[in-house]
Amino acid sequence: MSILFSPLRLRSIEFRNRLWVSPMCMYSAVDGVPQEWHHTHLAQFASGGAGLVVAEATAVVPEGRISPRDTGLWNDEQRDAWAPIVQAIHDRGAVAGIQLAHAGRKASTWWPWADARGSVPSTEGGWTTTAPSAVAYDGFDAPIALDAAGIERVVDAFAASARRALDAGFDVLEIHGAHGYLLHQFLSPLSNRRADEYGGELANRARLLLRVIDAVRAESGDDVPVLVRISATDHAEGGFTPEEAAIVGGWAADHGADLVDVSSGGLVAHQRIEVFPGYQVALAETVRQGGRIPVSAVGLITAAEQAERVLEEGAADAIFAGREWLRDPHFALRAAHELGAEIAWPPQYERARWR
């Protein structure tokens, strides 16, 4: 019996398997509104057997977008555009999730295939960014430090976007606290130089993340799973550590989170990451053991047997993948075939099931 293709239940939602699609930015929205590209992109993974399909980092406010081409959920037009995409995922048997995000000091940047790099100037549609402290990401424009009122607006925006996501039909909400974006910027002493109740010791640096979890849980009620993505290390001296990540994971559970999606890095340009297959699995295991909360592993997990082994060894409860789904949108069907797991295939694809 394959663990990878066994069901997993979080609150009221049962996932048909534990091989999930990570949120991946497409930089293809118009004024925050997802397009036909997003519909095709996300629905194909559900046809390919994914247990959970999580839509990309979706900004809770306009100034929270990574780039001017990011998706959003700060208005009802965006909500209504997401609804048919969610329905397409459901129609193909998968659970639909969305990652709610605020990019903080890493907002207002060019999309990957633009001719320019760094911050987008106001003359090209860019904007002034915000952060816990007025400390710029290397090569980007300096942000403005959030004041108390600004912090309240961030919390309220996450709550409002969570409500729109639920109204659009999403089953799962993920809070983006990783990869150097706003909530991660508060968590790390490398970017958080505040002297108030949001800076200094870990409990203060985690305060905004926990408040956002509280606000999203208040909107979602008791039935909706709430996930939290964190970077369990900054890969830089003096930064956020795996031991702190485990503590924050436990606090997240206490505040109503159901699973921590464990990634790493993204906060500073001088990070040093040793990359190899499954390079973040040990971080997931640290958070799972120390945080007393289910976790997912992600990061160069590209093969069925590799993913199965991570679960067998107890390092994680589910597997997120990104690039492998881009290479093969039917990753789960292929993985099940390789493991000999009995799963439902779309009848249109049955001819490929055994031979």
Angle in degrees, 0-180, between the axes of helices 76-91 and 148-168, rounded to the nearest 10: 40
Question: Does residue 353 carry a pLDDT above 90?
Answer: no
* Nearest to 45, CA basis, from 319, 344, 352, 325: 325
What is the structure's pLDDT at 291?
Answer: 85
Whether residue 138 lies inside any domain: the answer is yes
321-332 per-position pLDDT tens digit: 999 999 999 999
104: left (phi over 0), alpha (psi -120 to 50) or beta: left
215-246 per-position pLDDT tens digit: 999 999 999 999 999 999 999 999 999 999 99
216, 96, 80, 40 alpha-carbon torsion, rounded to 10°? 140
Give the Cα separation of 69 and 57 in Å (integer).
Answer: 11
Averaged pLDDT, 310-337:
98
257 contacts 228 by C-beta, under 8 angstroms:
yes
Averaged pLDDT, 237-266:
98
- Is 181 marked active-site? yes
What is the structure's pLDDT at 309?
Answer: 98
Which helix (H) or strand (E) element contains residue 152? helix 148-168
Please say whether the dihedral angle defined by the alpha carbons of residues 100, 23, 75 and 186, taken in this order, is positive or negative.
Answer: positive
pLDDT grade for 354, boundaries at 50, 70 and 90: confident
pLDDT grade for 355, boundaries at 50, 70 and 90: low
Whether residue 19 lies inside any domain: the answer is yes
Q: Which residue has the higher pLDDT, 274 or 291?
A: 274
Whether residue 3 lies inside any domain: the answer is no
30-62 per-position pLDDT tens digit: 999 999 999 999 999 999 999 999 999 999 999
Whether residue 1 lies inside any domain: the answer is no
Whether residue 338 lies inside any domain: the answer is yes
CATH number of the domain that 40 lies in? 3.20.20.70
Point out the catalytic residue in the list 181, 198, 279, 349.
181
Amino acid in the structure at residue 23: P
Whether residue 212 lies inside any domain: the answer is yes
Give the Cα separation of 80 and 67 in Å (integer).
Answer: 21
User: For residue 347, what are the CA distances in angstroms to 20, 47, 352?
Assistant: 21, 10, 10
Whether residue 2 lies inside any domain: the answer is no
84 contacts 168 by C-beta, under 8 angstroms:
no
Helix, coil or strand: residue 14 = strand
135 contacts 62 by C-beta, under 8 angstroms:
no
Helix, coil or strand: residue 54 = strand
Largest CA distance in the chain: 63
Q: Domain limits at 157?
A: 8-352
Q: How far apart are the first and last CA of the chain?
A: 21
96 contacts 171 by C-beta, under 8 angstroms:
yes
- The total of structural domains in the chain comes to 1
User: For residue 187, what are the CA distances in angstroms to 40, 161, 179, 234, 341?
Assistant: 35, 22, 11, 10, 40
Whether residue 139 lies inside any domain: the answer is yes
